[in-house]
């Protein structure tokens, strides 16, 4: 939740706007998974919002250490970062790529990352 909050603050995107945008993509999100998701529409969107912004923020902070906060609970503990990256690679924890692309677009559109070394690739 902290990483989602940081993403929203940095990109100046309102939580309500992000939620509304993702609700419009809810059917496509569900279609990205082989199993039937038995959560209500708003529950799926909330879960994806948190997971996707977390994934995006981890990738961004790994590429731009200047974005890491002094007391960052992940980057301040290297063993935790290793465990999180391993967990993110598990197939059942994958976030649909088009959602990450959307977050990438929001971050680029608002010029909210240090681009002097180039914006990191999502792949």
Q: Which residue has the higher pLDDT, 111 or 70?
A: 70
Phi first, then psi, for residue 36 (nearest 5°) are -75, 130
Count Cβ atoms below 10 Å from residue 35 Cβ, excluding itself. 7
Count Cβ atoms below 10 Å from residue 96 Cβ, excluding itself. 18
pLDDT digits (tens, 9 = 90+) for 77-105: 878 887 887 777 766 667 899 999 999 88
CB under 8 A, 24+ apart: contacts of 92-97: 93/51, 95/48, 95/51, 95/52, 95/55, 96/28, 96/29, 96/32, 96/48, 97/122
Question: With a threshold of 0.75, does the pTM exceed it?
Answer: yes
pLDDT digits (tens, 9 = 90+) for 2-53: 999 999 998 899 999 999 999 999 999 999 888 888 889 999 999 999 999 9
* Cα 34 from chain centroid (whole Å): 21
> Are the CB atoms for 93 and 87 separated by under 8 Å?
yes
pLDDT at residue 117 in the model? 53
């Amino acid at each position: 939740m902290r990483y989602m909050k940081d993403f929203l603050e940095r990109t100046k995107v309102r939580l309500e706007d992000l939620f509304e945008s993702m609700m419009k993509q809810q059917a496509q999100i569900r279609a990205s998974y082989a199993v039937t998701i038995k959560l209500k529409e708003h529950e799926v969107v909330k879960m994806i919002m948190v997971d996707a912004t977390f994934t995006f923020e981890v990738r961004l902070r790994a590429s731009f250490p200047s974005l890491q906060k002094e007391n960052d609970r992940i980057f301040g503990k290297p063993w935790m970062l290793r465990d999180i990256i391993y967990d993110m690679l598990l197939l059942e924890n994958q976030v649909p790529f088009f959602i990450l692309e959307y977050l990438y677009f929001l971050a680029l559109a608002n010029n909210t990352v240090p681009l002097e070394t180039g914006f990191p690739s999502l792949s």
